Structure 1
Amino acid sequence: MRLKEETEYEEEKREESMVAQKYSIGGGFPQPTKAVVVGYALTSKKTKSFLQPKLEGLARNKGITFVAIDPNRPLSEQGPFDIVLHKLSGNEWRQILEDYRQTHPEVTVLDPPDAIQHVYNRQFMLQDVADLNLSDAYGTVGVPRQLVIKKDASSIPDAVNRDGLKLPLVAKPLVVDGSAKSHELSLAYDQYSLQILEPPLVVQEFVNHGGVLFKVYIVGEAIKVVRRFSLPDVSKRELSTNAGVFRFPRVSCAAASADDADLDPGVAELPPRPLLERLARELRRRLGLRLFNLDMIREHGTRDRYYVIDINYFPGYGKMPEYEHIFTDFILGLVQSKYKKRTAKPVEEPV
């Protein structure tokens, strides 16, 4: 069975070989004949972390120009743009982008506002991963069991009992709105303490994962994985002796890199590349997104059981190694793909 799956994987790799080559470091896209204009509508914090001098310098060398979008002026009066990058919140901005997409179909908007909204709600964020139910020779990918609580914290213990969730439980705000608070999490050790949590939220079974989290960055068809330190495992003894709710900041963002740490090989080993490629390909299609990352863990004590615990749109790419090469190649690939579609000759029907 494994041999058959490996053969199928090799066939897929051959079919995608040209695409894969384009996204290698120092990829081989020809320099465009005219400047590629990328409009960006980002918060000041995101602009600073993303538009670093190394990215802007490499982009200029490749014929790419980044231009700030003024959200207080009509978007159609700015540009012209080839691509629009955005990560601003609010219904008004979302409507502006939707209208712009309808009136300017020649511009690539990254990504569609409605698709982004889907992953801003933790009730729906992981549903596509769960529906995928990915399992092959390289491992299985699922999501932790979770429960949505929209109001009335006093009902949480009964709801947890009814659904059979096991302690400890990770609690996260239901809506991801870009604020630091929306990325905070709490770890609840006992049922009584669940009542002090603040809905709306999701509670998720905590899975021991060796204290290491894998951040899987996705830029179009390119994938880059880094390790981050995460919450430590919880032993049965700790669970029986500890009580209360422990609050943590945004663990995956604030944590130090674990790439160079002296870790147990069973904890440090990255998820298999074929598994990640299949997962990313399916989620790109299901989510309708090209710029996102997955927070992924391996259940401690197993070699092939993985869980996706969060999905983030337009994450902190500035922390991704070699991101400037990957991102500029991605932009050139989009422009080249659009050009080929515009210049493609219609296929004549046989007489």
Structure 2
Amino acid sequence: MRLKEEMSCRNEDEREEFSEQKLNHHHQPLFFTTPTLEPGFPLQGKPVVVGYALTSKKTKSFLQPKLKDQARIKGIFFVAIDQSKPLSDQGPFDVVMHKLLGKEWRQIIEDYRQTHPEVTVLDPPDAIQHLRNRQFMLQAVADLNLSDSYGKVGVPRQLVIKKDASSIPDAVAKSGLILPLVAKPLIADGSAKSHELSLAFDQNSLQKLEPPLVLQEFVNHGGVLFKVYIVGETIKVVRRFSLPDDVCKRELSKNAGVYHVPRVSCAAASADDANLDPHVAELPPRPLLEKLAKELRHRLGLRLFNLDIIREHGCGDRFYVIDINYFPGYGKMPGYEHIFTDFLLNLVQGKYKKRSC
């Protein structure tokens, strides 16, 4: 049976959530662990049908030809969900993937999960919503204690300001946060504005910021960011350039008030990675990342997300998670077509085993 892919999006202006940084960057994969698949899939020659509800931009970046080709070989077919029709009337699906905004859509998916327990929904809408507010996004990491797992993982100290920019200097002074501070929009809704970062260097500049926002202490990290992609139990890491430490020194010397950073890595996009300090470029230890990913999968209730991690400069074993994104730009992850299709097959395999017991 040939399944026809179709793409439907009622709102073409709908913004892509947590869009990936559009910068010149360098990928260096750390590893990926793909679970072993049992023979005989798809089950009894039956295709695996994956319904997807994504923005048009996310559909284009994720459903690349190399993914669709690999899926076809493995008997997986992607079918666009028609948002103008009841979800229960479509399918039948083995898996439903979604990443759309709005309370109405969240309710549709939640109702579908309750009435179709045989379908794997990636992921629960309430769990996804938790990552859209930076006030709570990093709490699961802050609650962890991974100090004995080949390094220490924490989050930068931060302060939430919901309104009244004039009160920010006093709030910062009372909190004990140390300048410079990274200012991030409180809501991470995927819009261009939600990705705009600023560095505030003095007390007077704090009043120029626009609440609601989160203020994080800037951690010197050598200008390198580690993107840790998680797909179920699989982990893969790539390096990205980030805001270099010398920006802080340069702007501080100029007594600059607020330094606007539209994308976190644009200031270092032209850096030559071959000349990176080995102590800065060294990837986080694999056992540390495995334990961190396992804990967060459980605490967040998610299977598709990524972590932005930095290493404190001069402290080889101290790492900070500075952001968590749901269903990130997997299309930029090396080998994603093999990792993702094996992940989908394992989901269906696991469901089949449970039903057979």
Same fold by TM-score greater than 0.5: yes
Aligned pair 1:128/2:128, yes or no? no
Contact 1:186 1:248 in 2 (8 A): yes
Give distance in 2, aligned partners of 1:70 and 1:258: 44
Contact 1:296 1:306 in 2 (8 A): yes
**Higher helix content, 1 or 2:** 1
Q: Which of 311, 315, 320 is residue 307 of structure 1 equivalent to?
A: 320
Give distance in 1, aligned partners of 2:34 and 2:97: 24
Query: Using a 3 Å threshold, how does the CA distance of structure 1 residues 258 and 220 change in structure 2: closer, same or farther?
Result: farther
Give distance in 1, aligned partners of 2:270 and 2:255: 28
SS of alignment partner, residue 155 of structure 1: helix
Aligned pair 1:280/2:293, yes or no? yes
Q: Which of 163, 171, 178 is residue 166 of structure 1 equivalent to?
A: 178
Query: 1:302 deviation in Å?
Result: 1.2
Query: 1:237 deviation in Å?
Result: 7.0
Q: Which of 216, 240, 252 is residue 239 of structure 1 equivalent to?
A: 252
SS of alignment partner, residue 251 of structure 1: coil
Contact 2:34 2:339 in 1 (8 A): no
Q: Which residue of 2 aligns with 1:31?
A: 41
Query: Using a 3 Å threshold, how does the CA distance of structure 1 residues 257 and 276 change in structure 2: closer, same or farther?
Result: farther
Contact 2:243 2:267 in 1 (8 A): no
Contact 1:294 1:308 in 2 (8 A): yes
The superposition leaves residues 286-344 of structure 1 with CA deviations (integer Å, 9 ceiling, x where unpaired) of 00000000000000111110000000000000000000000000000100000111101
Write the letter of the residue equivalent to 2:71: A
Query: 1:257 deviation in Å?
Result: 9.7
Q: Which residue of 1 aligns with 2:164?
A: 152
Write the letter of the residue equivalent to 2:319: Y
Query: 1:255 deviation in Å?
Result: 7.2
Aligned pair 1:54/2:66, yes or no? yes
Q: Which structure has more RCO (C-alpha within 8 Å, separation ≥ 6)? A: 2
Query: Using a 3 Å threshold, how does the CA distance of structure 1 residues 329 and 78 change in structure 2: closer, same or farther?
Result: same
Contact 2:97 2:121 in 1 (8 A): yes
The superposition leaves residues 75-122 of structure 1 with CA deviations (integer Å, 9 ceiling, x where unpaired) of 011111110111000000000000111111111110000000001100
Give distance in 1, aligned partners of 2:99 and 2:267: 20
Query: Using a 3 Å threshold, how does the CA distance of structure 1 residues 226 and 21 change in structure 2: closer, same or farther?
Result: closer
Q: Which residue of 1 aligns with 2:209?
A: 197
Write the letter of the residue equivalent to 1:185: L
Aligned pair 1:179/2:194, yes or no? no
Give distance in 2, aligned partners of 1:29 and 1:291: 25
Q: Which residue of 1 aligns with 2:26?
A: none
Give distance in 1, aligned partners of 2:38 and 2:264: 36
The superposition leaves residues 200-245 of structure 1 with CA deviations (integer Å, 9 ceiling, x where unpaired) of 1000000010000000000000000000000010466753543211
Query: 1:246 deviation in Å?
Result: 1.2
How many residues in Structure 1 have an aligned counterpart in Structure 2? 323
Q: Which residue of 1 aligns with 2:221?
A: 209
Q: Unaligned regions of 5+ residues in structure 2, if any? A: 1-31
Contact 1:173 1:202 in 2 (8 A): yes
**RMSD (CA atoms):** 2.0
Range moving further from structure 2, 263-272 or 253-262: 253-262
Give distance in 2, aligned partners of 1:122 and 1:133: 21
Query: Using a 3 Å threshold, how does the CA distance of structure 1 residues 253 and 188 change in structure 2: closer, same or farther?
Result: closer
Q: Which of 44, 68, 84 is residue 96 of structure 2 equivalent to?
A: 84
Write the letter of the residue equivalent to 2:106: R
Query: 1:180 deviation in Å?
Result: 1.4
Query: Using a 3 Å threshold, how does the CA distance of structure 1 residues 62 and 286 change in structure 2: closer, same or farther?
Result: same
Q: Which residue of 1 aligns with 2:302?
A: 289
